[in-house]
Chains A and B, each alone.
Chain A
């Protein structure tokens, strides 16, 4: 990287995240002055406009791409209209050792005096929580599920290519024509539509004003700049910001700035989950790159520099922290902005191009937390592109992750999208499938599937609290066969899912009515045509995902019950329940027996895998096609992000030998240490899940660097990916382990049974080596990871 990038990157690394109360103050003042004057969407748009007019601007030294969410890099706004941090929250954020946010003492005082008093009882969260049913609260508190929208607005949207050919002035024309077409005679919703369209129009103005203020500032700075090179850069920035987002971009630089202003607008308007994603960035930038190269105004290095500047911008926007945090809760700075590379273009051709390779270089060089990159692999993807991607992957950061373009495409067709709209779709957030720029695919929260099994084992009682929170499905000790037990699980599952969905539908409507997002709605297709907000079913497609966690843990637990308790009767249910209750203390022999003598998921074992298939079918049956106010829009997703850790904490010991409060299996990966037949067996087991019926699955594969070393290691990595995708896999990600992981494996070999070590012409399981050689491998791994 060049000096400019090295400096900006270093600044981004070293800046500690902080809270800026500017947005909260501006919003509070605006609401105090204007409450009740306007229809809700218009009020939201005017508040957004006020923010764009008033907020402090930042153009840093050396920057080429400009604009920050807060007044400075890594200064995060709060959104008191949705949920309001208390003084205590801010103090904890300021002082907690992990993922803290610096808050100035004066700011805490101002917040307490000005912001908190106005919003108490008025925030969307307060209003929602005052009206939630007891059953829901009981399940929520026990950790049966999480609720995404209790803290943040529905988000993780990705854009299609529209903004690269359509400026906001064009959008304003579309909005005006939609208003003209309103049928005031026959359409009973004409009023609401008109209000929403007015709001969208104001939001376009707001974003243009925001950019022009940057142009003014850049000109001002240029006037007093002594360095001629920088002066020219500032004038170029001014020119760019005067042109986009009002108009469609004219060159590579403007295209990136266009996206960045669009991104900033959506994360200023609301705090949507996973911010915003550019989607197929390489495809969108390709024409600008090719044009720049052809007319000589751009070269590869310049393109790389601009992309690096953009990279740093995204990394400068950590996630807005939660309210009601405890000191122990660490949270994450990650607000997943995912860039899809390669894949297939709208016309079905291979999507990878020069820009894809440049982005891989940037990713590899900068090694920043965000944005994250995924490579989309189709049968048309070249070996060359896959090899380049694998090279970056094995460097150890876990990125890029790999997705199966054809699976992502088929999943969307299954949900009723057209071929073109499915091709322009991809994945955002972690692994979630959606049609970019045309869909609201909203995550509703994680579902703790092992916890639901625990309810069935305890007749509806949560063993951790002793409270009855589920259905009374019978004392399992009276069950005579495994089937009876499984039915009890299914009943609990339906109860928990239905309770969640009822509340999710309520919360969705609360957002649609009280926190619409007119700016975001301008960007997503058919909101303008429909005159409806993004949160109100305005987009062309609407999907609601519930993310199911712990398939490995639950499958293995069922396998133990089936084999040892009901079929072979080597373990009595009474003993097993006692062992679970006592967290295996005094039952190590039984725990080891179970851990070593049960068919587990991830071993290409048809018996275990058939249990997984049955659980998966039950999840589909309970969730898929359930109704929201927008229609039969609920679908299953199979990711856990880091929630398997939280869910594990809320879960007692499980029949598969897992201790109470230990993490559950992540994503759709096997339980840690349960897969003992190598990666091909894991892939085979995973391929027995009919993944095309989900909106995404997640497979983490841990490798030691040595296994992937050399050209041959690289080639075999690519072949493993290709084979998994041929067999219907959705996503795979390689975690190249570090020495810290190996230390953990030494202490806790059970969880790391499957870690392979490669030594020249020989490989073995790490945990089976003697200590001397384990130390040798650790020393070598430390070197290889450098």
Chain B
């Protein structure tokens, strides 16, 4: 450690028995903070790098302890349950501690590498049996690159397999450092058209696609590690044949791809937007039909790519 201080990370969720974030049975750590703000994001609580106050109305019993005990009077009874006046909130988290039902939560928790390792090791027997391991997701894990790389190093020294689920929007050198430690990258390709990409995610994709090529080159050079391409399939956004053809061309230009997953859009996470007081821009967009999904899969197959539905 350069200055004797262990890096810590800001994590918003840990999911054990994670069965769709890489091979086998895995434990997934969700890193808080993402430079993108995709319209369809199902983990909107992970976008802001700051602790996000959230309210689960269905758990609340309206006991009023938070209102009584908030030292700054930021909590009050509102028309839709407990309200928060963010101008008064200093994030002391007292309301979270006194809430008997865990209806009030500040999403996000600081964790050390040691804590990550301790949690990861709990399911070693499952990784062994299933060929699983640990996945770092988010948010964008590479936004906390120093911490991520420290975690990857620690797990690699314990021979625990790791995966990094990334948008690719990060510093190239961070990505390449992570490539030296991680076993798999779950790399999202959403849209090939840079303008549309910017419109729907808030950032352009030039850097993402350049990073993807550098990562691919690095993995081929070092002869270890692979990329799983993940494509969210969103009706009206990226399901046009032109976009899918462009994605296919991109995939075909890579040499370290070990799998392609098509993830059909769903709106299950939309309830979270309300809990967080955010706007959900997808409105009533419906998930793609089974037919649409199978059409996309056949398109990939016709170009010699075996794509799989779901993760």
Q: Which residues of A contact B (CB under 8 A)?
A: 588-590, 592-593, 596-597, 604, 677-681, 684, 707, 710, 712-713, 715-716, 719-720, 722-723, 726-727, 749, 756-764, 767-770, 772-773, 776
Asked whether, in the complex, the Cβ of A719 is within 8 Å of the Cβ of B130, the reply is yes
Of B19-27, B79-87, B141-149, B176-184, the one contacting chain A is B19-27
| A-B contact list, 19 entries, CB within 8 Å | A589-B61, A597-B100, A681-B17, A681-B122, A684-B122, A684-B123, A707-B19, A712-B310, A716-B24, A720-B126, A722-B129, A749-B59, A759-B266, A760-B263, A760-B264, A761-B230, A763-B18, A768-B58, A776-B268
Q: How far is the CA of A221 from the CA of B69 in the complex (A)?
A: 86
Contacts of B266 in A (CB 8 A): 759-760, 762
Q: How far is the CA of A760 from the CA of B309 in the complex (A)?
A: 8
Q: When A719-B130, A720-B25 are in contact, do A712 and B271 touch as well, CB less than 8 Å?
A: no
B258 at the interface (CB under 8 A from A): no
Which of B15, B24, B100, B230 touches A592 (beta carbons < 8 Å)?
A: B100
Write the chain A residue with the least CB distance to B28.
A763
Q: When A596-B100, A678-B15, A770-B271 are in contact, do A760 and B20 touch as well, CB less than 8 Å?
A: yes
Asked whether, in the complex, the Cβ of A767 is within 8 Å of the Cβ of B100, the reply is no
Closest 7 CB pairs of A and B: A770-B271, A761-B311, A592-B100, A593-B100, A678-B17, A719-B130, A761-B263
Asked whether, in the complex, the Cβ of A723 is within 8 Å of the Cβ of B16, the reply is no
Number of contact residues on B: which range applies?
Answer: 35 or more
Write the chain B residue with the least CB distance to A596.
B102
Beyond the given A678-B17, A761-B230, A763-B15, could you list 8 further A-B residue pairs with CB under 8 A, ordered by the A residue number?
Answer: A680-B122, A681-B122, A707-B19, A719-B130, A723-B125, A759-B268, A764-B268, A772-B271
Q: How far is the CA of A597 from the CA of B267 in the complex (A)?
A: 31
Interface of B is mostly: loop
**Total A-B contacts with CB atoms under 8 angstroms apart:** 111
Write the chain A residue with the least CB distance to B101.
A592
Q: When A596-B102, A678-B17, A716-B19 are in contact, do A762 and B268 touch as well, CB less than 8 Å?
A: yes
Asked whether, in the complex, the Cβ of B310 is within 8 Å of the Cβ of A680, the reply is no
Asked whether, in the complex, the Cβ of A773 is within 8 Å of the Cβ of B268, the reply is yes
B63 at the interface (CB under 8 A from A): yes
Asked whether, in the complex, the Cβ of A677 is within 8 Å of the Cβ of B16, the reply is yes
Q: How far is the CA of A712 from the CA of B20 in the complex (A)?
A: 9
Interface of A is mostly: helix
Asked whether, in the complex, the Cβ of B263 is within 8 Å of the Cβ of A588, the reply is no
Task: Type the 1/0 row for B84-120, where 1 means its CB is closer than 8 Å to any CB of A.
Answer: 0000000000000000111000000000000000000
Which of B101, B125, B128, B274 touches A596 (beta carbons < 8 Å)?
A: B101
Contacts of B58 in A (CB 8 A): 749, 767-768, 770
Asked whether, in the complex, the Cβ of A588 is within 8 Å of the Cβ of B267, the reply is no
Contacts of A593 in B (CB 8 A): 100
Residue from A590, A710, A762 whose CB has the most chain B CB atoms within 10 Å: A762
Asked whether, in the complex, the Cβ of B230 is within 8 Å of the Cβ of A768, the reply is no
Contacts of A726 in B (CB 8 A): 125, 129
B56 at the interface (CB under 8 A from A): yes
Q: How far is the CA of A588 from the CA of B261 in the complex (A)?
A: 46
B218 at the interface (CB under 8 A from A): no
Write the chain B residue with the least CB distance to A712.
B19
Write the chain A residue with the least CB distance to B274.
A770
Task: Type the 1/0 row for B31-75, where 1 means its CB is closer than 8 Å to any CB of A.
Answer: 000000000001000000000000010110101010000000000
Asked whether, in the complex, the Cβ of A773 is within 8 Å of the Cβ of B270, the reply is yes
Q: When A719-B129, A723-B126, A768-B56 are in contact, do A757 and B268 touch as well, CB less than 8 Å?
A: yes
Q: How far is the CA of A597 from the CA of B125 in the complex (A)?
A: 28
Contacts of B277 in A (CB 8 A): none
Contacts of A722 in B (CB 8 A): 129
B194 at the interface (CB under 8 A from A): no
Residue from A749, A756, A773 whose CB has the most chain B CB atoms within 10 Å: A773
Asked whether, in the complex, the Cβ of A589 is within 8 Å of the Cβ of B65, the reply is yes
Q: When A678-B17, A769-B268 are in contact, do A588 and B130 touch as well, CB less than 8 Å?
A: no
Q: How far is the CA of A574 from the CA of B15 in the complex (A)?
A: 38
B269 at the interface (CB under 8 A from A): yes
Asked whether, in the complex, the Cβ of B19 is within 8 Å of the Cβ of A713, the reply is yes
Which of A588, A710, A713, A757 touches B63 (beta carbons < 8 Å)?
A: A588
Which of B20, B123, B264 touches A758 (beta carbons < 8 Å)?
A: B20
Q: When A589-B61, A761-B261 are in contact, do A710 and B310 touch as well, CB less than 8 Å?
A: yes
Asked whether, in the complex, the Cβ of B61 is within 8 Å of the Cβ of A588, the reply is yes
Asked whether, in the complex, the Cβ of B61 is within 8 Å of the Cβ of A719, the reply is no
Q: When A681-B16, A761-B311 are in contact, do A589 and B100 touch as well, CB less than 8 Å?
A: yes
Q: How far is the CA of A776 from the CA of B17 in the complex (A)?
A: 23
Residue from B65, B129, B271 whose CB has the most chain A CB atoms within 10 Å: B129
Q: How far is the CA of A720 from the CA of B24 in the complex (A)?
A: 10
Asked whether, in the complex, the Cβ of B311 is within 8 Å of the Cβ of A680, the reply is no
Asked whether, in the complex, the Cβ of B19 is within 8 Å of the Cβ of A769, the reply is no
Write the chain B residue with the least CB distance to A757.
B268
Contacts of B268 in A (CB 8 A): 757, 759, 762, 764, 769, 773, 776
Q: How far is the CA of A713 from the CA of B310 in the complex (A)?
A: 11
Q: How far is the CA of A723 from the CA of B25 in the complex (A)?
A: 11
Task: Type the 1/0 row for B126-144, where 1 means its CB is closer than 8 Å to any CB of A.
Answer: 1011100000000000000
Asked whether, in the complex, the Cβ of B20 is within 8 Å of the Cβ of A762, the reply is yes
Asked whether, in the complex, the Cβ of A761 is within 8 Å of the Cβ of B101, the reply is no
Write the chain A residue with the least CB distance to B42.
A762
Q: How far is the CA of A677 from the CA of B65 in the complex (A)?
A: 27
Q: How far is the CA of A726 from the CA of B56 in the complex (A)?
A: 38
Q: When A760-B263, A761-B263, A773-B270 are in contact, do A680 and B130 touch as well, CB less than 8 Å?
A: no
Q: How far is the CA of A713 from the CA of B309 in the complex (A)?
A: 13
Q: How far is the CA of A183 from the CA of B56 in the complex (A)?
A: 80
